[in-house]
């Protein structure tokens, strides 16, 4: 590729730009040997060729309507359609009502169920163990009361310390 061609080629170009680039490259290659009148004659010939091509393409486009692409042209409608009403029919309304009633009934039933009692981490004493401890405590108090009746105590501190010494 010659340097003239690299300089003159744009990144995006149309068919007219291509022809112009080709002409400029030709002129640059020939140098000053080509006359200006000859250049004008060549440009006129190319312009005429392009004009004939455009006329031919337009004629093809207008005669062959069946091949045309895109959305067809709109025509005036004789009777405009009534806008469709949106909404529920009575049957649809009953169906939705039944579904919603069933949904809310299920929620009420779910809410009515008693919540399970939380399991405590604390250990409980059996009734038999509680009874045994209560009897042992009663026996201790009975001994303490009996000891207090035998010897009157002058000091409370001595009375509390005496049963523990036994």
Q: Is residue 119 in a domain?
A: no
Instruction: Report whether pLDDT(166) > 50.
Output: no
Q: Is residue 134 in a domain?
A: no
Q: Is residue 118 in a domain?
A: no
pLDDT computed for residue 15 by the predictor? 67
Two structure tokens written together for 78: 């004789």
Identify which has the larger pLDDT, 148 or 82: 148
Band (pLDDT 50/70/90 cuts) for residue 165 is very low
Q: Is residue 89 in a domain?
A: no
Total domain count, the chain: 1
pLDDT computed for residue 112 by the predictor? 79
Tell me, yes or no, if the pTM score tops 0.75. no
Two structure tokens written together for 85: 């009403």
Q: Is residue 75 in a domain?
A: no
Q: Is residue 109 in a domain?
A: no
Are the beta carbons of 13 and 1 closer than 8 angstroms?
A: no
Alpha helices (H) along 10-166: 15-30, 36-63, 90-112, 127-150, 156-165
Q: Is residue 99 in a domain?
A: no
pLDDT computed for residue 34 by the predictor? 61
Express each pLDDT in 10-57 by its tens digit: 455 566 677 777 777 777 666 656 677 887 888 899 999 999 998 888
Provide the residue range defining the domain that includes 14.
Answer: 3-64
Cα pseudo-dihedral 111, 113, 118, 124, rounded to 10: 150
Instruction: Report whether pLDDT(58) > 80.
Output: yes
Q: Is residue 143 in a domain?
A: no
């Amino acid at each position: 590729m010659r340097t003239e061609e690299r300089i003159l080629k744009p990144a995006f170009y149309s068919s007219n730009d291509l022809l112009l680039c080709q002409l400029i490259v030709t002129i640059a290659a020939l140098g000053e040997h080509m006359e200006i009148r000859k250049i004008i004659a060549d440009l006129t010939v190319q312009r005429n060729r392009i004009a004939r091509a455009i006329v031919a393409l337009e004629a093809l486009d207008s005669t062959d309507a069946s091949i045309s692409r895109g959305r067809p042209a709109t025509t005036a409608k004789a009777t405009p359609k009534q806008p469709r009403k949106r909404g529920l029919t009575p049957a649809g309304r009953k169906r939705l009502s039944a579904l919603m009633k069933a949904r809310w009934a299920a929620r009420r039933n779910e809410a009515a169920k008693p919540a399970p009692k939380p399991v405590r981490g604390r250990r409980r004493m059996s009734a038999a163990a509680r009874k045994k401890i209560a009897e042992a405590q009663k026996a201790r108090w009975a001994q303490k009361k009996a000891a207090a009746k035998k010897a009157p105590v002058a000091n409370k501190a001595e009375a509390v310390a005496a049963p523990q010494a036994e």
